[in-house]
A and B are shown apart, each in its own frame.
Chain A
């Protein structure tokens, strides 16, 4: 008996997929539920499993674009396959991707140990700077744009073309948050089994500010404005296939521990490639942290159809004036990009000020001020 292999549905809006990797070659013997090939859609990657045991026939090759529901091969349960020709060794999925970006730290270690020396030596060489002005530009490597990259490209241009995006800035003195983290880190880790990072403060402060300024927690839907009743905040996670934005739901009701644990779980899923479309859909607001890579200041771009996005940056010790004294404080610039069609300048500025106050004095979060 022959069992057809069909392209599975990968979520409502996905109609086609690209074959990104053949795991079992056509003609080989497969067991039920064995991994056959990998499909790439504009949202996630998906593995197709053998629907039965027998000889595998595939009528697609890598980079073929296939429609959802179409037949791409079959498994003959009566015929015997060749003694499984070993597929070319393929790098393991994203589990073997580069290590996660360093945790946000304001200051780097001054102690470079021999183990660091060796690790740095083993790491792939950093991209060499472009050679000095050659008379004619030479073409380097050429490769297909991935589905994900193409979607990102289209969406970014669409945002620029269809919204009235503006960015407003403020800055936050991180002293108190850093002090709380230093003071309570041990207790927090004991209680929740995870480190207290900066992100939970920002998620909680954003949830509070979104409550205060509902326009920021809204979207334009045709001729109507839809204001969300829940506070579902997307947190951007960088992977080697591009940026993914898993959504933390009901942030106003989550504890700091919940937020930290959820983010860690999402980051793990995003990097191992096991994140699902449900994890990525339906946020009402987004936080992106360019600070982990060292960004001082940037203008984040909206994550449609959301109306606003907060950009965090790195923490830098700066001289600031406090009570007419110049003092050193760990400062972070904040950037709020917003859709001016929906959010007025006043609201966006007050949103950031609200955020700033709560971050500089997190006890306000406790008192719901």
Chain B
């Protein structure tokens, strides 16, 4: 049978594309190499890490803040097995949720590795599937180092770090990016000594510079150690030799987490068979309508350029489905937020101050510290700040950067503002409930015009 659309990959790009295709009346199949649906995000990414971050944050908060809040607990301890079980239950619930959604939308699903055979067909374990249009949503995989063979037990990627059977005494994290600091935080809260080795001279390179510096200070106070401008030159088991400004030293650990980034995953997909040539870095080139060099084959998510984020993949999944159905969607990439789920959280949307200056834009910056926010004071979550970047000439919001509690939720206001091309005064003039953390956003907007009330 000929499908209208076949989606390869069931991550947040692929499964969302499949559902939107089905909603638009297209006969759709989704192929997944793993037995569980949901891709990296659901199985070994966003979801399990947030489950672990929540459990450990709860423990951490009770340990450090209960007494000050007048809450008296007996002796406090944790059970890592239980924590992992809870995480597993959450993931499983979502796996079943996608299966249910596929059934509800009458989407066929198939387990196995897809290999393209023509612009409109591929095989899955010897079975041939034909479809008028094919969407590649095969995602990405962790980048590894040649001298650090991953066993996912002692030398792990994010995948292994999400399922450690016990809390390591010492953990070395190579790469102080978003994934590294999140997972480092998990084990630090449970008592690990967590040490980062970062090649660059700063942590989380996609974040705004001043936000990243303030963030690093907070993490250091929590006990995380950062070796910046430091390169791992060799390894023997879990003992690393690192080099900083020409001087070598060794660092020992019980578990080494390699979190130096991710690369597109297209192994066994047979791109060469249909004449699609990936870029040097392995990305699949597409045009403005997500079409690869083969017009019937589209690609979305981590296998194409742009930030490797689940919600970016989902937006692209929806857009590509609508394009195939003859509609004219568009995605405002500037309005795609990114979040670090540490405590406090960091969230950002739009341009950083550095990016805006690099683009030659004349900008105005406003900031507001949570220390001066009444709700943050009440909850004891007064670390961090809101930083807003505006275009001087038009007052358009160019970037919003939040370091602080619930930044992941607060950032949505910035996303809407950028999507709707709002000005900073639009935000400043919008009523915000009192007392809430969101007032800090309003105050930062006022501060762009030197009108902040509580600063």
Contacts and interface: CB of A to CB of B under 8 A. Distances in A.
Interface of A: 107-115, 117-118, 121, 182, 317, 328
A118 B328 contact: no
Contacts of B328: 107-108, 110
B268 interface: no
B417 interface: no
Interface stretch (B59-67, B107-115, B249-257, B331-339): B331-339
Interface in B351-373: 351, 355, 359, 361
A110 B288 contact: yes
Contacts of A121: 391, 394, 396, 421
Interface residues of A, dominant DSSP: mixed
A110 B333 contact: no
Interface residues of B, number: 26
B334 A110 contact: no
Given A108-B288, A109-B289, A110-B331, 20 more contacts: A107-B289, A108-B328, A108-B330, A109-B287, A109-B288, A109-B330, A110-B319, A110-B328, A112-B330, A112-B332, A112-B334, A113-B333, A113-B334, A114-B333, A117-B333, A117-B334, A118-B359, A121-B421, A182-B295, A317-B326
Contacts of B329: 110
A111 B359 contact: no
Contacts of A182: 295
B323 interface: yes
B322 to A, nearest CB: 8
B102 interface: no
B288 A111 contact: yes
11 contacts: A109-B289, A110-B289, A110-B323, A111-B290, A112-B334, A114-B355, A117-B334, A117-B421, A118-B398, A121-B391, A121-B421
Contacts of B319: 110
Contacts of B351: 114
Nearest to B399: A114
Interface in B273-290: 287-290
Contacts of A117: 332-334, 418, 421
A111 B333 contact: yes
Contacts of A109: 287-289, 330
Contacts of A110: 288-290, 319, 323, 328-331
Contacts, number: 51
Contacts of B398: 118
Contacts of A118: 359, 361, 398
Nearest to B361: A118
Nearest to B326: A317
Contacts of B391: 121
Contacts of B332: 112, 117
A28 B110 CA distance: 82
A239 B342 CA distance: 55
B12 to A, nearest CB: 18
A328 B132 CA distance: 14
What 7 pairs between A and B have smallest CB-CB spacing?
Answer: A109-B288, A117-B334, A114-B334, A110-B330, A111-B288, A110-B319, A112-B332
| A108, A118, A317 — most chain B CB neighbours (10 Å) | A118
Nearest to B333: A113
Nearest to B320: A110
Contacts of A112: 330-334
B399 to A, nearest CB: 10
A234 to B, nearest CB: 32
Nearest to A107: B289
Contacts of A108: 288, 328, 330
Interface in B201-216: none
Contacts of B290: 110-111
Nearest to A179: B295
Contacts of B394: 121
A185 to B, nearest CB: 11
A182 B295 CA distance: 10
Nearest to A111: B288
A117 B329 CA distance: 16
A118 B290 CA distance: 22
Contact of A328 (B326, B350, B361): B326
Q: Which of B288, B326, B355 has the most CB of A within 10 A?
A: B288
A181 B9 CA distance: 32
Contacts of B288: 108-111
Nearest to B319: A110
Contacts of B355: 114
Interface string B421-443: 10000000000000000000000
A32 to B, nearest CB: 39
A111 B391 CA distance: 22
